[in-house]
């Protein structure tokens, strides 16, 4: 798949079969931006560290100031498929909403002191802190609840040369879901 990038940025594809974490640990790459913690960091490799060691307060402060909490995933459907069957957008969206609610309910039910389903010390405290910061929904779905974040993403995408023009929310979402 083509991966557009600014002309003044050199991009090299990782060699086939090479793991980015191993490349980072070996010094073959200088940095890695990922939602997943690289294995070498999990293993405590001494010469690899997080850019922001105390990232949680930094991220919480950013969220409080901007209202933006990074979106993690998106669901994509081919435009030609939605053009031919526009009624598909809503049941797909609803299916993901239902799955998210089931997962959230799993955590709500298991939120007893020291009996969180993850067996993480102080997990209940983190849940409480998150409830204070995200009172309604930690992972809101839909366009309206994510408009600020999506607009910022589209702005950054264009400013960083990843798209030739500034797209709008209305251009990238199925019309049936714009009211969500």
Provide the residue-wise pLDDT of the chain in tens; the chain has 180 residues: 677 778 888 888 889 999 999 999 999 999 998 888 999 999 999 999 988 888 889 999 999 999 898 787 888 899 999 999 999 999 999 999 999 999 888 777 766 655 566 677 777 788 788 888 887 788 889 999 899 999 999 999 999 988 889 999 999 999 999 999
What pLDDT is stored for residue 168 in this prediction?
96
Return all residues near 147 (Cβ < 8 A) that are at least 6 apart. Answer: 169
| pTM beyond cutoff 0.85 | no
Return the pLDDT at 112.
Answer: 63
Task: Show me where the domains of the chain are located.
Answer: 1-51, 54-177
Position 147 scores a pLDDT of: 93
3-state SS string for the chain: CCCCCCCCCCCCCCCCCCCHHHHHHHCCCCCCCCCCCCHHHHCCCCCCCCCCCCHHHHHHHHHHHHCCCCCCCCCCCCHHHHHHCHHHHHHHHHHHHHHHHHHHHHHHHCCCCCCCCCCCCCHHHHHHHHHHHCCCCCCCCCHHHHHHHHHHHHHHHHHCCCCCCCCCHHHHCCHHHCCC
* Gap between the Cα atoms of 41 and 114, Å rounded: 27
pLDDT at 61: 94
Please report, for residues 82, 86, 87, 163, 179, the alpha-carbon distance to residue 90 in angstroms, rounded to integers and kept in the order given.
11, 8, 6, 28, 11
Residue 125 confidence (pLDDT): 81
The pLDDT score that the predictor gives to residue 113 is 54
């Amino acid at each position: 798949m083509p991966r557009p990038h600014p002309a003044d940025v050199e991009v090299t594809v990782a060699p086939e079969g090479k793991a980015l974490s191993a490349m980072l640990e070996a010094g073959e790459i200088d940095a890695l931006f990922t939602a997943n913690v690289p294995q070498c960091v999990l293993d405590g490799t001494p010469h690899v560290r997080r850019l922001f060691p105390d990232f949680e307060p930094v991220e919480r402060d950013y969220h409080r100031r901007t209202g933006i909490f990074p979106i993690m995933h998106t669901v994509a459907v081919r435009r030609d498929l939605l053009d031919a069957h526009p009624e598909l957008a809503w049941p797909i969206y609803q299916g993901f909403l239902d799955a998210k609610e089931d997962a959230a309910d799993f955590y709500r039910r298991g939120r007893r002191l020291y009996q969180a389903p993850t067996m993480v010390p102080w997990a209940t405290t983190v849940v409480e802190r998150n409830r204070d910061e995200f009172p309604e929904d930690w992972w809101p779905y839909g366009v309206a609840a994510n408009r600020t974040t999506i607009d910022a993403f589209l702005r950054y995408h264009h400013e960083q040369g990843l798209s030739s023009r500034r797209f709008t929310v209305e251009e990238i979402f199925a019309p049936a879901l714009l009211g969500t």
